[in-house]
Amino acid sequence: MSLSRKAVGLLLIAAGAIAAGAYVLDVQQSNRVGDFASTPRAAPAQASIPIPRPALPAAHPPIAAARPQAGAEAREGRVQVDPTRAYTHFRVGNNSVMAIYADETVMWLGTSGGMVRYDTVTREFKTYDARNGPRSNGILHLGKLRGKISVGTYGGGLSLFNQDAQEWEHYGVTEGLGDAYVYDLLEASSADVWIATGSGVSRIRGGAMKERAKWDLYTVESTGGGLPHNRVYRIVEGKDGSVWFATRGGVANFRNGKWKNWTHAKGLGAPREGASDGDPTRGQAQDTGQARDARGAGAKLAFNPNHIAALEVGEDGGVWAGSRGAGLARFDGKAWRNYTVAEGLPSNQISALNFDRKGRLWIGTKNGLAVFNKGKFQVMTTAHGLLAETVYSVTTTKDGGVWVGSFGGVAHIRQPASKQHFLSPPAPIDASLTAPQSL
């Protein structure tokens, strides 16, 4: 039976248990900092639908391939979580958590098999997929646009969810999107809305989503090369009100109607020699744009410093870009400063960036989670609370917590201020957990 035919639910399990393969959200917790039992687990089988990655192949599969098959029922329920424990693992079976959005005390988790709304106060959850929500199960973006939850999907366009009215509205190519693969969305201070797709970036002037005449599509061709690549992964706003774009061909900036871009030739990303030295992930399978399917099966690692998968802006106005092979780079307005494993990164394959409220930069990589603070890197792996070494998404919350998405689920790490979170060795424990109560 394929995953798409199985029900989605929550289940609390003891430490060391393995998900059976259905899309279930299991919970595993630790009593104190550093006591994660890092017993090796068998790798779960891949889901039957295409699993989106931060770097997708050049040729997208048909939209229908990202849709679920009929038969599964959406699930909702409640779990019991001990907030005094150092971390909690929420498992989602054979799915990758590609997007996480914190809406006050509600966490939204976007996976390759649908999305989950989890209330951290009531411990209640509800799942959404193409039968009761977005038009595709592959979730690439989660955020908020004028009070509605914004959902960017793999092959199903953009969806907006009005929680009060329990109503969905959908946007596709007909409405003005470049294509149906939506990676990110930004509502700028100017009120313009920018949407990143696999075929350019859409700008809705004044945020008038219902007015087709207000939609503009920017591509490599229409910008005269100002946008360096049509595959746009991330959009952020600079402190000066300009808009920055992470693309498969470099970083671009749009200000006062003018485009500017930076590539490896202009200092973006570390040199090939330096980026390869000491990187433990340099020989691992990696999507290069010629992958055989959406999972990147059969693809080999390729050095592509212009492939920018993550983008953030710091409080000082510095622009941070994470590449697929050339490490992390910071632009101070004049030049790029590059960081690699030589400076302390666990990998030069960067997939996610997020600033917390203390100004620390959290960095998701192919070999663990790093935090950059006061000029130094600290690294967290499965030995310190992560669910898996490969990180696809990371979000920080007001209470100091960090939510980290990987294949198989999310790790919620509570206030990782202690050095033990990064440095202490694991110590096995027996988790005492309570079965969930279904609504």
Nearest alpha-carbon partner for 324 in 282, 355, 361, 296: 282
* Domains, the chain, with CATH or none: 48-64+92-380 (2.130.10.10)
Residue (of 247, 272, 271) closest to 261 by Cα position: 247
Distance CA 250, CA 265 (A): 10
- Going across the sheet that includes 158-162, the strands are 139-145, 148-153, 158-162, 167-171
Question: Token digits for 37?
Answer: 């039992």
What distance in Å separates the CA atoms of residue 370 and residue 373, rounded to the nearest whole number?
10
The Cα 87–Cα 94 span in angstroms is 21
Q: What is the pLDDT along the chain (439 residues), one digit of tens a residue?
A: 333 323 233 322 222 222 222 344 556 665 433 322 222 333 333 222 233 333 333 333 333 333 333 444 547 888 878 888 888 999 888 899 999 999 999 999 999 999 999 999 999 999 999 999 999 999 999 999 999 999 999 999 999 999 999 999 999 999 999 999 999 999 999 999 999 999 999 999 999 999 999 999 999 999 999 999 999 999 999 999 999 999 999 999 999 999 999 999 999 998 877 665 566 666 554 443 333 233 333 344 467 899 999 999 999 999 999 999 999 999 999 999 999 999 999 999 999 999 999 999 999 999 999 999 999 999 999 988 899 999 999 999 999 999 999 999 999 998 765 454 454 433 322 222 222 222 2
Distance from C-alpha of 22 to C-alpha of 43, rounded to nearest angstrom: 14
Q: Are 391 and 365 a contacting pair, CB within 8 Å?
A: yes
Q: Is the dihedral of CA 286, 289, 293, 298 positive or negative?
A: negative
What is the DSSP annotation of 347-415?
-SBEEEEEE-TTSPEEEEETTEEEEEETTEEEEE-GGGT-S-SSEEEEEE-TTS-EEEEEEEEEEEE--
d(CA 95, CA 139): 11
Residue 261 and residue 218 in contact, taking contact as beta carbons nearer than 8 Å: no
pTM: 0.80
